Amino acid sequence: MNTEKNVAAAATAIIGQKVLPGREQEFASWQQDLNTAASYYPGFLGAETSPPTPLQPDWVVVYRFDSVAHLQTWINSATRQTYLDVGAQYFDGPATQQVVSSGTQTLDPLVTVVVTHRVAPKHVDDFLDWQHHMVEEESKFEGFRGTELFRPIEGLQEEWTTLYRYDSAEHLDAWLTSPQRQKVLAEGEKFNDFRLRTIDNSFGSWFAFEGDGKETPPPPSETKTSLAVWVGLYPTVVLLTLALFPLHLPLWIGLLVGNLLSSFLMSFLTMPYYVNPLLGRWLRPPPAEAAVRTNVRGLGIVAAAMVFWAAVFYLVTVRFWTLP
C-alpha cells in the first residue's frame, strides 16, 4: 500500500459526470474538444473518455499529467472553466472528481474501484489502521489484484483516495456484498462519509509498459498506435492462418474463428509480450529525449520487424511450403 504524498510524480484525475438523456452524442463531441484543449497544456500525458457501462453508471473522463502542479494548472484553468460553462447544458447534476498522484499509473486493465473519504486530521492514524484492516480482509477474496491509498493533495483535493482492483466484476461484487466488508465498515463507522465508483477499463492492457503490468496511458499519437498494432497483427494473423489451414475451413468460418483467436492473442500475448517491449520507448518516450531521434529509431524498429516477418513468411509459404 502506498501512503506517501509525492507531488513530483505523475498525477491522474478521474472525473465522473451524469449526462442528460438524449444529449449523449453532443456531450461526447464537446468532451472530445475539451480533451483536445487539455493536450496543449504543459505536462499532458493523455486523456480517455468512457461512456456508461453496467459497472460504471456515469461518463468517466481520465486526465493524466506528469505532475500534480501541471494537472492543477489544467483543472483550474480559465480554458477549462469556459468549456464547462458551455457544456453545462448537457450535465445531469454536478460532476465528481478524484485525483491520485503516483510514480506509476494506477488504473488496472480490468475493474478498478475508487473510494474517497473525508478524514479529520485528528482521526488520520485511526483511519490508516482501519484501512489496513480493510486491505487484510479484501485481499482474502478471489480475484483481488491490489490496492493503493493516496493522501489529500493540497489545493486540489481534500479527500483521501483508495484504489482497489479485482480481475472481474463478479469477484468484485462478491467482496462488495460480503459480510466481511460489512463488518469492517461497521468498525469504521466514523469514516462512513465516503463515495465509491467502479471503473470498467477492460482494454487498457494493450499498451501497458510497466513491469508490474499496471496500465499506462495509451500512446498520444494515433499514427504510432496504428503502426504498433500493425507490427503485432501481421505475424499474429499469418501464424493463425497457417495453423488453421490444415483444417480446410470455409472462408467465412475461417475468418470468424481466426478473428476471435487473433483478438485474444493480441490482447494477452502479442501486445504485452512482443509489441510493448519492442516499441515501448517509441510509444512512450522519456520526456527529455529528442522527438526526432525517438521517431527515427522507432520507425527503424518497425521497418526492421516487418521486413523480418515478411522474409520469414516468404520462406515458409513460398520456399518451404507452397500454399494452394
What is the pLDDT at residue 151?
A: 78
- The DSSP bridge partners found for residue 61 are 15, 49
Residue 150 contacts residue 237 (beta carbons within 8 Å): no
- The DSSP bridge partners found for residue 17 are 59
What is the pLDDT at residue 312?
A: 92
The tens digit of pLDDT for each residue in 235-292 reads 999 999 888 888 888 888 888 888 888 888 887 788 878 888 888 778 766 655 677 8
C-beta atoms surrounding 55 within 10 Å: 17
Residue 171 contacts residue 141 (beta carbons within 8 Å): yes
The tens digit of pLDDT for each residue in 12-21 reads 888 888 899 9
Selection from 77, 63, 69 nearest residue 12 by Cα: 63
Residue 5, pLDDT > 50, answer: no
The tens digit of pLDDT for each residue in 171-228 reads 888 888 889 988 988 888 877 777 776 666 543 444 444 444 344 444 445 678 788 8
Any idea which of 83-92, 152-161, 200-209, 273-282 has the lowest mean pLDDT? 200-209
Task: Go through the domains of the chain in sequence order and give each one's CATH number.
Answer: 10-207 (3.30.70.100), 222-320 (no CATH)
C-beta atoms surrounding 5 within 10 Å: 13
* Residues listed for the chain: 324
- Helical (H) or strand (E) element with 59: strand 59-65
What is the pLDDT at residue 15?
A: 85
Residue 300, pLDDT > 90, answer: yes
What is the band of 150 on the pLDDT scale with cuts at 50, 70, 90?
confident
